[in-house]
């Protein structure tokens, strides 16, 4: 047993275990068709997203030995198109004193290229008998596949007065030839993002409190992301707040002063209004796009939480959202749009440009799809209905009901009768003023639904664990006529196993 445990502390041992354990998992019924997921075991936050040497690299929080959270590794995959991924050996194994603990390990972080090498900066979590301690650590790679940890880890510890068990998720970036690190921290039961700088990624000095909660933004910010966006020199600070109930990922838009190390914001918004989009991380790709991927789940302090879903019965758990492009709009709010590459998965359309005029109370079946894309335009200028209802994954007397409540300017997704497992109704405000049309895109996969309305201003992501044969799609008008234009439906090809 000791030899087996020792082997699991090596990359080769973990890789061999995965190769054996994935047999019978990769073709399990609940596996997603085109959303990224682990080969086997548990997955949560995306880490280290980067465009490196002409390929997309996705690292992720990973427990290969169980379908539940535990001793965190960094899984690793690469892609040429964001849709088809090649699994690589785990990049980080918990094997240093600062990151080797059954309830700790190599927690979340980010990646950056420097001198032709790929550097990973991550949180090491351990417990030496006096409580959990989180510190920031560094590893690097010459080829982007095999990583060496810095022998001097950790490179950064929590400052005096801060909770050492809540000092994590470093976000590293470069500005004017200097490296900066943003770290989520907790002090006096309030959240802060701390800013550090370095010349070499190994020696760090404190700059300032980049931004902080005065109580209105929770007691801890997980997975902070910080990046410039748009043509006006503005920056975005994004984080997943603890202690804010239904708010899972918040973004702030404002101005950054690198002389003082302070960020001041004037816009606040939601990255996703659904149940299941947490800890998103962004990066610049080779086309100059700011892309974002999130974990398609959320932690158990959320009020709607039931459990992680039944995929653990198949030996795996966890998936990512679709990659999304982040766009700054003229009013400085953000839109999040599915990347264009997803269109490459479309089969011949099942419905091609259909226009519908629905009478009040009339429901229309529009097709079937458990792994599909549905696009349409709500013609608000010619709609008198109080609401337009979209029913997804219909069958067996069950469905997910998505309501475009035009009377109350609200989007609701209700999964209480979805699958006998999922629970909850999520809500989002619909921007209606001055709009004559509203574009809607819906992506369905075996375990998930993602809704994008109004060009990505409003996003809702939710997990649903319905059987494959429960795949009907219906649309209905309530309280008057509704005009739906250019409705299109495609089945989407499998790209991930």
Query: Which single residue is written with the structure tokens 């007397």?
Result: 397
DSSP state of 16: H
Q: Helix or strand or coil: residue 250?
A: strand
- Please give the backbone phi and psi of residue 42, each rounded to the nearest 5 degrees, phi first: -100, 145
Q: How many residues would you count in the chain?
A: 497
For residue 322, give the nearest of 333, 336, 335 by alpha carbon: 336
For residue 219, give the nearest of 179, 162, 262, 171 by alpha carbon: 162
How far is Cα 174 from Cα 17, in angstroms, rounded to an integer? Answer: 37
Residue tagged active-site, from 16, 27, 45, 143: 45
Q: Which residues pair with 132 in a beta bridge?
A: 127
DSSP state of 100: -
For residue 356, give the nearest of 374, 373, 379, 372 by alpha carbon: 379
User: What is the rounded end-to-end Cα distance, in angstroms, of the chain?
Assistant: 31
Annotation marks residue 45 as catalytic: yes
- Please give the backbone phi and psi of residue 345, each rounded to the nearest 5 degrees, phi first: -90, -5
Helix (H) or strand (E) holding 207: strand 205-212
Strand pairing of 132-141 and 117-127? Answer: antiparallel
The two three-digit tokens of residue 352, written as one number = 């091609």
DSSP state of 20: H
Residues involved in catalysis: 45
């Amino acid at each position: 047993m000791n030899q087996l445990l020792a082997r699991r502390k090596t990359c080769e041992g973990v890789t061999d275990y995965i190769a054996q354990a994935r047999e019978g998992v990769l073709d399990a019924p609940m596996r997603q068709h085109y959303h990224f997921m682990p080969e086997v075991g548990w997955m949560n936050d995306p880490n280290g997203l980067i465009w490196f040497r002409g390929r997309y690299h996705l690292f992720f929080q990973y427990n290969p030995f169980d379908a539940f959270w535990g001793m965190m590794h960094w899984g690793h995959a690469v892609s040429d198109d964001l849709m088809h991924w090649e699994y690589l050996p785990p990049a980080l194994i918990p094997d240093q004193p600062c990151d080797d603990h059954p309830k700790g390990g190599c927690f979340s972080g980010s990646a950056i290229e420097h001198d032709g090498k790929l550097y990973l900066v991550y949180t090491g979590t351990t417990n030496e008998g006096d409580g959990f301690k989180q510190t920031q650590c560094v590893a690097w790679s010459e080829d982007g596949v095999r990583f060496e940890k810095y022998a001097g880890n950790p490179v950064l510890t929590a400052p005096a007065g801060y909770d050492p068990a809540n000092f994590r998720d470093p976000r590293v970036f470069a500005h004017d030839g200097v490296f900066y690190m943003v770290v989520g921290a907790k002090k006096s039961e309030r959240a802060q993002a701390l800013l550090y700088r370095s010349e070499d990624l190994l020696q760090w000095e404190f700059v300032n409190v980049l931004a902080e909660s005065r109580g209105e933004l929770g007691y801890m910010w997980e997975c902070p992301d910080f990046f410039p966006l748009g043509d006006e020199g503005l920056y975005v600070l994004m984080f997943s707040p603890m202690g804010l109930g239904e708010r899972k990922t918040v973004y702030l838009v404002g101005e950054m002063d690198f002389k003082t190390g302070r960020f001041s914001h004037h816009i606040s918004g939601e990255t996703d209004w659904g149940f299941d989009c947490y800890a998103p991380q962004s990066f610049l790709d080779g086309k100059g796009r700011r892309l974002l991927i999130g974990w398609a789940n959320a932690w158990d302090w959320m009020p709607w939480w039931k459990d992680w879903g039944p995929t653990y019965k198949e030996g795996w758990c966890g998936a990512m959202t679709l990659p999304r492009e982040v766009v700054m709009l003229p009013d400085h709010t953000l839109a999040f749009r599915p990347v264009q590459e997803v269109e490459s998965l479309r089969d011949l359309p099942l419905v091609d440009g259909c226009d519908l005029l629905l009478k009040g109370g009339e429901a229309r079946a529009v097709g079937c799809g458990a792994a599909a894309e549905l696009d349409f335009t709500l013609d608000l200028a010619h709609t008198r209905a109080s609401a337009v209802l979209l029913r997804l994954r219909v069958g067996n007397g069950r469905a997910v009901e998505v309501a475009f409540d035009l009377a109350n300017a609200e989007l609701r997704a209700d999964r209480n009768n979805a699958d006998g497992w999922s629970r909850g109704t999520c809500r989002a405000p619909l921007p209606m003023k001055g709009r004559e049309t509203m574009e809607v895109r819906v992506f369905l996969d075996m375990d998930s639904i993602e809704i994008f309305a109004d060009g990505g201003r409003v996003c809702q992501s939710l997990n649903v664990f319905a059987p494959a044969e429960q795949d009907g799609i219906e649309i209905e008008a309530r309280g008057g006529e509704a005009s739906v234009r250019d409705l299109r439906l495609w089945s989407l090809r499998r790209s991930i196993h």
